[in-house]
Amino acid sequence: MTFTIEQNDPKTNARAGVIHTDHGDIQTPIFMPVGTQATVKGVHLHELKDDVKAQIILGNTYHLYLRPGTEIIEAAGGLHKFNGFDRPMLTDSGGFQVFSLAGIRKIKEEGVEFRSHIDGSKHFFTPERVIDIERSIGADIIMAFDECPPGTSDYQYSKQSLGLTERWLDRCIKRFNETEPKYGYSQSLFPIVQGCTYKDLRQHAAENVASKGADGNAIGGLAVGEPTEVMYEMIEIVNEILPKEKPRYLMGVGTPINILEGIERGVDMFDCVMPTRNGRNAQIFTQHGTINLRNKKWESDFSPLDENGTSYVDVLYSKAYVHHLFKAEELLALQIASIHNLTFYLWLVGEARRHIVEGDFATWKAGMCEELGRRI
């Protein structure tokens, strides 16, 4: 995997680039739809590729390990063959999911013992085991196994947690270097910067990650309870240290405004369940603000779902119709809203890229954030 920066914004740290992988190129900044269990919820493959225009999607190591299991994925020839998505993919290490199981996991130096949320069966993840699983899944970009402490963690816990994450990273890198890809194309391992909301910890973590010389680097442990402004401060601190010639991935963030703020601070890659999760709960994002389609005000509004939208669903369906589908609890409502929101997120990062190239990103972003913050 290689990364080419095509344009730097003259007034901010935003940049437009291209990530080159064996499954194709990814134009950055980019949003990556979350396909936790080998599927992006409610979205057909042809819609994901042709309408949403997803350039890269995510899978999750924890969930795919538990179900369907690595034996099935290997028998299929890897995740690309299993789910039919022939463009780049990324897998999270499962660390966030494991550590969210607070009551049913035990953290040790060797790894983490946890019980499946599906059937209660006991499992043990070590850094080495996670790399092996991610080799079996076969994503183009795989993440190191880390501990993700809550955003409200005290300094002492955060420091201990970071130390564990850094020792695990060394073990992940060693295992990655000892093994080979299984399906005839290359994989890249991204380390993750942790450190909670403490400046010195984030600086130390970023310096350690930068020293590894990885193909790209990730920023984790944000948008987990800390104030938004603190999140932005941590991004700035980390991006001052992470190598500028490598892509930077902000994990699990976030709202459209969060994404534009991240781009302004030099982030290249984003993912979040918000477009699909919020869509399934009747919230759609537009360039003029957010809409709750359950509200009665849309009951007799026959205007297009989004008059300025870029998806076929935006002009094919009216607000009144989708409002009706949600009230009637029809599954089509969830699908329409998910497709719309994902298309909007990809449109948004595409527009950000265009304005970076044209040199007026800062002006465009200021006006866009004002619009995005509205509730319609």
With contact defined as beta carbons under 8 Å apart, do 7 and 16 qualify? yes
Decide if 301 is catalytic.
Answer: no
Whether the Cβ atoms of residue 8 and residue 357 lie closer than 8 Å to each other: no
Residue 180 in tokens: 């080979």
Instruction: Name the helix (H) or strand (E) containing 290.
Output: strand 289-292
Task: State both tokens at 258.
Answer: 């969060």
Catalytic residue among 51, 146, 271, 306: 271
Whether 92 sits among the annotated catalytic residues: the reply is yes
> What is the CA angle 101-107-109, rounded to 5?
155
Q: What is the 3-state secondary structure (H, E, C) of 179-225?
A: CCCCCCCCCEEECEECCCCCHHHHHHHHHHHHCCCCCCEEECCCCCC
Residue type, 6: E
State the catalytic residue, choosing from 9, 51, 92, 268. Answer: 92
From first CA to last CA, the distance across the chain in angstroms is: 42
User: Which residue, among 338, 248, 270, has the nearest Cα to 31 in the 3D structure?
Assistant: 270
Residues noted as catalytic = 92, 271
